[in-house]
Amino acid sequence: MKLQRVLQYAQFLLRQTVEEGDVVVDATAGNGYDTVFLAQLVGEKGHVYAFDVQQQAVNSTKNRLHEEGLSERVSVILDGHENVAHYINERISAAIFNLGYLPGSEHDIITKPNTTLKAIESLLGLVKVGGMIVLVVYYGHEGGKEERNQVIEYVSNLPQKKVHVLRYEFINQKNDPPFIIALEKMKEL
């Protein structure tokens, strides 16, 4: 298979961007799969800040990190990603979002347009030139299309000399398959 699947491609982008010792953000920790992936990429000297608004997600992420022996290089924060700037005052190299609801939970706690956009804006300030923000956009659930539309509208209007904005999407798949938005920072905003 030559075309990478959406989740593979998200990981490929992060691997291209993140180096050992970096500081990075998992904006939607959920069950912690991306948090573990990022913790492996940054190595012992790096740090991951992982955010989620659900205690269940925080617990699940912490357990997964513990099992993998990676807890020390991660701060798992029970708070919204819109508050990321309250917790981080250093440059990050990358951030990932998985928009939507926590797999295996009720579908009533979902990412929302206002807070997602606020988080993207803050992260664009924190990320260093050459860094990357990756969003995996799930939009099949109730409220998902509204969030998708607002995210597309916002990122489409970012200044092209300062941020390169990519959409990676399979356009013949049924049932609202997720797609990727990747933002590569080229200059300070």
Ligand X SMILES: C[S@@+](CC[C@H](N)C(=O)[O-])C[C@H]1O[C@@H](n2cnc3c(N)ncnc32)[C@H](O)[C@@H]1O
Q: Give the pair of three-digit tokens for residue 183.
A: 């933002």
Alpha carbon 166 to chain centroid, angstroms: 15
Contact 120, 81 (CB under 8 A): no
Give the closest residue to 31 by CA, choosing from 54, 10, 8, 13: 54
In the list 33, 128, 158, 186, the residue contacting ligand X (rule: CB under 6 A) is 33
Interface stretch with ligand X, choices 107-115, 121-129, 146-154, 170-178 (CB under 6 A): 107-115
Tell whether residue 122 is a contact of ligand X (CB under 6 A): no
- In the bound state with ligand X, the residue whose beta carbon lies nearer, of 87 and 170, is 87
- In the bound state with ligand X, the residue whose beta carbon lies nearer, of 17 and 98, is 98
Tell whether residue 30 is a contact of ligand X (CB under 6 A): yes
Q: Rounded distance, CA 74 to CA 78, Å?
A: 13
Q: 34 to 63, contacts with ligand X by CB under 6 A?
A: 34, 51-54, 57
Tell whether residue 11 is a contact of ligand X (CB under 6 A): no
- In the bound state with ligand X, the residue whose beta carbon lies nearer, of 117 and 186, is 117
Q: Rounded distance, CA 163 to CA 158, Å?
A: 7
Tell whether residue 98 is a contact of ligand X (CB under 6 A): yes
Q: 152 to 171, contacts with ligand X by CB under 6 A?
A: none
Long-range contacts of 150-158 (CB under 8 A, 24+ apart): 150/113, 150/116, 150/117, 151/99, 151/113, 151/116, 151/117, 151/120, 151/181, 152/181, 154/117, 154/120, 155/120, 155/181, 155/183, 158/124, 158/183
- In the bound state with ligand X, the residue whose beta carbon lies nearer, of 23 and 135, is 135
In the list 18, 74, 102, 151, the residue contacting ligand X (rule: CB under 6 A) is 102
Tell whether residue 71 is a contact of ligand X (CB under 6 A): no
In the list 7, 85, 109, 165, the residue contacting ligand X (rule: CB under 6 A) is 109
Phi, psi (deg, nearest 5) at residue 109: -105, 105
Binding site for ligand X (CB under 6 A): 28, 30-34, 51-54, 57, 80-82, 98, 100-102, 109, 111, 115
